[in-house]
Amino acid sequence: MVKYFLDYARRCKACQFHANFIHQPPEILHPIVASWTFDAWGLDVVGSLPKSYGGHLYILAETDYFYKWDKVVSLKEVKKENVVNFIRVNIIYHSGIPRYILTEKAFNKTLCNLLKKVVSNSKRD
């Protein structure tokens, strides 16, 4: 009988709409504040998504935290060449070297290693 009522409540739209929700985040939110334009950038990979007509499965997104300006590109696969080229063309060549590039934890290690390789291979001071 309990199972019946649980199933009924899960299917009932009114029950789901008026249910008690926790309206507070689990942790205190710390907004990212950029001091000036192109100071801090956010970079994230979204995917794997359903395959598009062009065969793309991933989205690489960047955000300027001062202007809240976004740019995205779709990728067939996430390779270091694609990510580094995206950073060069859309961030560095467009607005200079940012002070911060913020990513999620797993992607952050990969990005840091890629940028170290690119900087060491470019042989510029």
Residue 124 confidence (pLDDT): 53
What's the pLDDT score for residue 61? Answer: 80
Separation of alpha carbons 46 and 120, rounded Å: 28
- Asked if residue 10 belongs to a domain, the reply is no
Encoded tokens for 83: 């990510």
Which domain does 98 fall in, by range?
33-120
- Asked whether residue 48 is assigned to any structural domain, the reply reads yes
Specify if 18 maps to a domain: no
pLDDT tens-digit readout, 19-29 = 676 666 667 76
| Helix-helix angle 105-122:80-87, to 10 degrees | 80
CA Rg, the chain, in Å? 21
Q: What is the pLDDT at residue 125?
A: 44
- φ/ψ (deg, to 5) at 84: -65, -40
SS3 75: strand
Look up the CATH number of the domain holding residue 46. 3.30.420.10
Q: What is the pTM of this model?
A: 0.55
User: How many folded domains does the chain comprise?
Assistant: 1
Q: Is residue 60 part of a domain?
A: yes
Half-sphere exposure of 91 (CA within 13 A, CB side): 27
How many CB atoms within 10 Å of residue 86?
18
Per-residue pLDDT of the chain (125 residues; tens, 9 = 90+): 788 877 887 777 776 666 676 666 667 767 666 677 777 777 777 777 787 788 888 888 887 777 777 778 888 887 777 778 888 887 778 777 777 777 776 565 666 666 666 666 655 54
**Residue 28 placed within a domain:** no
